[in-house]
């Protein structure tokens, strides 16, 4: 039997057994659980937390149903925190960022660009909660590190969840941000309708938080690259999975939006690695996220805020004088490739995990139909 036949058989077998995979896994299936194929070797958790030290926390707010009453709900939102070195380590890390299309926000990016450092966590929430989260991160850093400097210019990114959420009700509070920061952990991560991704939409299916990782071969350094996305972008006809234009072939299950016109969204991507890279190299890594988006069919529309940040947990030595080693530019290709691969898979993982959700005014965003996708990939 040829290699391609083996692949077809595997896909067909996993399609037939897709219904029991969640029970065997003890939770929601991920793209690979369903037999969807991606390039590259993942880390243990296939998550950004495969990068040693990285911790991720969420606060999810879901309450109410029916007609929108601003300030009361329904509420479908939250906040997500990514600690590069964990919630108890306040050492800054080298970082870089890139804006593919700037109809969005990532606060703190000016100083990050100027200094080359990320000082504190990366936060992701909804568009109208950015200010609240900024204030909360500063307060949290003062509480958690009273003898040090506060995180004065927090990095807070956003995407718009107004299709499902009472976004003008400002429901993300200081306590929610504290919860996400304090409950961050390593290990396997929840995906889909969680944290900042609770009310998000991707390719007109339910989107949200997704993650993936890649482990480089030892002869290429053995480094880990991890990606976390908040996916809230794209049109149905653009969606591609494993190179197959599945969006064009899926009929029905379009968003049910009442009292307002549907709109394009955005995507925030966080890349972490333990590879020793300098800030300008990390900016180059952040740029490669663009190619991962393209693999899923994204065109980065005019109204989309597609903003990416990359950091390294590689150690910095010294106080007055910092010393570090870093990879030669000629050795970055494997890091670039890993970033592209993990970005693509993280987006699909977000959509596979996300479940159908009804929010304000009865607006409903349907989940990606797993069985139909697998039929199209056979």
- Residues near 104 by beta carbon (within 8 Å), at least 6 away in sequence: 127, 157, 158, 159, 266, 268, 304, 305, 306, 307
* Cβ 365 vs Cβ 255: under 8 Å: yes
Per the annotation, the verdict on 266 as an active-site residue is yes
**Which among 33, 161, 264, 306 is annotated as catalytic?**
306
**Which among 266, 298, 314, 334 is annotated as catalytic?**
266
CB atoms within 10 A of CB 264: 20
DSSP-assigned states of every residue in 254-293 = --B--SS-----EEEEEEEE-S---HHHHHHHHHHHHHHH
Record the tokens describing residue 307, joined without a space. 């903003």
User: In terms of DSSP H, where are the helices of 145-259?
Assistant: 174-182, 246-249
Nearest-angstrom CA–CA distance, 4 and 340: 24
* Cβ 200 vs Cβ 161: under 8 Å: yes
Rounded to the nearest 10°, the torsion over CA 114, 116, 122, 124 is: 50
Nearest-angstrom CA–CA distance, 280 and 268: 20
Per the annotation, the verdict on 334 as an active-site residue is no
Query: Whats the size of the chain, residue-wise?
Result: 378
* Cβ 269 vs Cβ 55: under 8 Å: no
Nearest-angstrom CA–CA distance, 164 and 200: 8
Per the annotation, the verdict on 304 as an active-site residue is yes
The dihedral region occupied by 226, where left means phi > 0, alpha psi between -120 and 50, and beta the remainder, is: beta
Nearest-angstrom CA–CA distance, 346 and 78: 19
Measured on CA atoms in the order 65, 66, 71, 75, is the torsion positive or negative? positive
> Three-state SS for 30?
coil
CA count, 13 A, side-chain hemisphere, 32: 16
**Which among 109, 242, 298, 304 is annotated as catalytic?**
304
Active site positions, annotated: 266, 304, 306
């Amino acid at each position: 039997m040829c290699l391609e036949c083996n692949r077809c058989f595997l896909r067909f077998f996993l399609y037939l057994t897709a219904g029991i995979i969640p029970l065997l896994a003890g939770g929601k299936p991920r793209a690979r659980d369903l037999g969807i194929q991606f390039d590259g070797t993942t880390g243990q958790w296939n998550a950004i937390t495969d990068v040693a030290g990285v911790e991720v926390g969420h606060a999810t707010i879901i309450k109410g149903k029916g007609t929108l009453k601003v300030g009361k709900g329904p509420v479908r939102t939250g906040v997500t925190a990514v600690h590069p070195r964990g919630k108890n380590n306040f050492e800054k890390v080298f970082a870089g960022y890139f804006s593919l299309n700037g109809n969005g926000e990532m606060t703190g990016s000016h100083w990050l660009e100027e200094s080359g450092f990320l000082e504190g966590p990366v936060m992701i929430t909804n568009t109208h909660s950015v200010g609240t989260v900024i204030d909360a991160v500063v307060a949290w850093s003062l509480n958690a590190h009273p003898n040090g400097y506060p995180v004065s210019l927090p990095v807070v990114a956003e995407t718009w969840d107004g299709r499902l959420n009472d976004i003008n009700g400002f429901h993300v509070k200081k306590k929610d941000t504290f919860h996400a920061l304090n409950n961050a952990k390593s290990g396997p991560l929840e995906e889909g309708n969680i944290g900042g991704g609770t009310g998000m939409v991707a390719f007109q299916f339910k989107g949200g938080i997704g993650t993936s990782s890649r482990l480089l071969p030892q002869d290429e350094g053995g480094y880990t690259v991890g990606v976390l996305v908040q996916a809230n972008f794209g049109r149905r006809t653009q969606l591609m999975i494993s190179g197959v234009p599945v969006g064009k072939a899926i009929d029905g299950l379009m968003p049910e939006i009442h009292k307002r016109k549907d709109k394009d969204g955005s995507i925030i991507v966080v890349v972490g690695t333990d590879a020793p890279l300098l800030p300008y190299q990390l900016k180059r890594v952040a740029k490669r996220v663009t190619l991962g988006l393209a693999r899923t069919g994204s065109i980065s529309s005019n109204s989309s805020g597609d903003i990416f940040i990359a950091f390294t947990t590689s150690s910095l030595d010294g106080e007055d004088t910092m010393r570090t080693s870093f990879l030669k530019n000629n050795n970055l290709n494997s890091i670039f490739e890993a970033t592209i691969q993990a970005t693509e898979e993280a987006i699909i993982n977000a959509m596979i995990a996300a479940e159908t959700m009804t929010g304000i005014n009865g607006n409903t965003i349907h989940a990606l139909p797993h069985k139909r996708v697998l039929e199209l990939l056979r």
